[in-house]
Structure 1
Amino acid sequence: MSGSIFNEEYLIPDNMVGLVIGRGGEQIKRLQMESGCKIRIESESNGSPERACTLSGSQESIDEAKRMLDEVVKRGIDRQQGRSQGGYGNGNPGYQQQNRGGYQPRRFNNQYQQY
């Protein structure tokens, strides 16, 4: 079914929404352009620790958008953990860890679980 448009709901941690959107919307625009997937983030989490995103596009573009969203969220979690542990960094402490297979957030049904 090449060329079909799919819609899929995907959850990201509510405290990472600002990072996913980026300053002036630059990050989310880049994610959409590079993945080819339209990403719409719900305006409210309704008290939930996760925020729903609607991903629209081909299945391949949705899969790529999910991979890219996971990377952004992982970097944000790594950065938060570095600060909470008193670590110092080069402004992007999760980057090297990511390349070495560092911390991986646990996901169940597309929901992040933090320890």
Structure 2
Amino acid sequence: MNGLRKILTTCLLMLLGCSMAMAIELTPVTTGHLPVSDPGTLKRYTAFCGALNASYTVDIWFPEGYDAGSETRYPVIYMQDGQNLFDPSISFAKVAWEVDKALGRLLLPVRLQRP
């Protein structure tokens, strides 16, 4: 029973550690190839996670008219397989999913309704 308690305690501590928010520093990438997104804007960042001591490339698509200083709130979609989302030159099959274009089509009725 004591061995089972140690295993369960270890698992619980691991789960708690994984769920804790970790600071990630985003640095804009200003060089290299970045596909043009229409509609919207695609920006590339390098994200450094101190807890993992590793850097990752993160592409973020902003809808047309997005203003970080505005009080307008937008829903967020997180997609894990970044190399296939926007850029065919870095995708596995050399074909992008064109998520930016699909989201632009989904948002078109919303843009048309705004005064």
Q: Same fold (TM over 0.5)?
A: no
Which is bigger in relative contact order (C-alpha 8 A, separation at least 6)?
Answer: 1
TM-score normalised by length of structure 1: 0.28
Instruction: Name the structure where helix makes up a greater proportion of residues.
Output: 1
TM-score by length of 2: 0.28
Q: Which structure's CA Rg is the greater one? A: 2
